[in-house]
Amino acid sequence: MSFSSDAKRELCRAPLSRRCCAQAECYGILLYANRFDRGEARIVTESAAFAARLPALFKKAFHITFDRLPEAGQGKRIFSLTAPDKLSALSAAFGYDPGSTVAHHINFAVLEEEHCRSAFFRGAFLAGGSVTDPAKGYHLELATSHYSVNRELLTLLREAGFAPKSAARGANHMAYFKQSEAITDFLTAIGAPLAAMELMNAKAEKDLRGGVNRRVNCDAANLDKAVDAAQAQLEDIRRLAGRMDLAELPPKLAEAARLRMDNPEMTLTELAALCEPPITKSSLSHRLKKLGELAGEM
């Protein structure tokens, strides 16, 4: 099961309580369905949960039954309304002039209440939406073939506090989200808090893993740097030893040279602690640098 179909299954558990909300959900479904015009309202879905919800939803909202129901065993389930009286009942409920052929618009007047808007978003998502598995990325989209509907949905979403982006893909117009927080908020608002929680957890896990990986890489890089530095110090000291007796060096430099030769693997901090008396890492670093300069002069 995909993350998207799990989210839709959760949404379809939302009870059919208010009639106004049932109508708003139908409205969202129809504007994001495969076809909604004078001749037919056609909803095609692969979601078994959505298919189970549709007849009850339309019955609750408009007391109407579908003229065509899916046949058993179909992958794509097709619901269709073709009876003129049913189609005009829908048009009337959404404030359309029955029989008009003008482009679809969202009638804001029937979505004044917040509960109805959430139901409308839910319907739009069930019919025309999808959300990517958070393990693969963050993307939630709502796609409709109606240009104005998409534009007006963007307005509705913004009014509800969201910041959707918009794009066209083929004949479809999309509103979409790319931010995990926005997707989480949207899923919660339309009635899928569990999917929202799953997304949040997936993100937290990913962030945590990213943080650990960054630290491991960083430690490894520092270690490489320390090893390279020690190698350079050893080369300098060997070069000096080839030209002179290291015991002739000033005592502090001689001590640093001897300690580095004896402990090629130690970090500066460890070496500094071995000095008599112990010195700071930066003092030791200074002495080793001095040795490097002397080796360069020779």
- Which residues here bind Zn ion, judged by CB under 5 A? 18, 20-21, 113, 115-116
**Sequence-distant (≥ 6) Cβ neighbours of residue 60 within 8 angstroms:** 16, 19, 22
Choice between 16 and 194, CB closer to Zn ion: 16
Coil, helix or strand at residue 176:
strand
Give the residue with the Cβ less far from Zn ion, 110 or 274. Answer: 110
| Single-letter residue type at 124 | A
Q: Which is nearer to Zn ion, 21 or 199 (CB)?
A: 21
CA distance 142 to 127: 9
CB of 123 or CB of 134, closer to Zn ion: 123
Q: Which is nearer to Zn ion, 116 or 253 (CB)?
A: 116
CB of residue 120 to Zn ion, shortest distance in Å? 9
Name the strands in the sheet holding 77-81, side by side, starting at the edge strand that comes first in the sequence.
Answer: 35-36, 41-45, 77-81
Q: Shortest distance, CB of residue 115 to Zn ion, whole angstroms? A: 4
Exposure of 105 in the CB half-sphere (CA atoms within 13 A) = 11
Calpha distance 14→10 (Å, rounded): 7
Distance CA 42, CA 38 (A): 11
- Cβ of residue 5: shortest distance to Zn ion, in angstroms? 26
Shortest distance, position 19 Cβ to Zn ion, whole Å: 8
Least CB distance from residue 62 to Zn ion, whole Å? 15
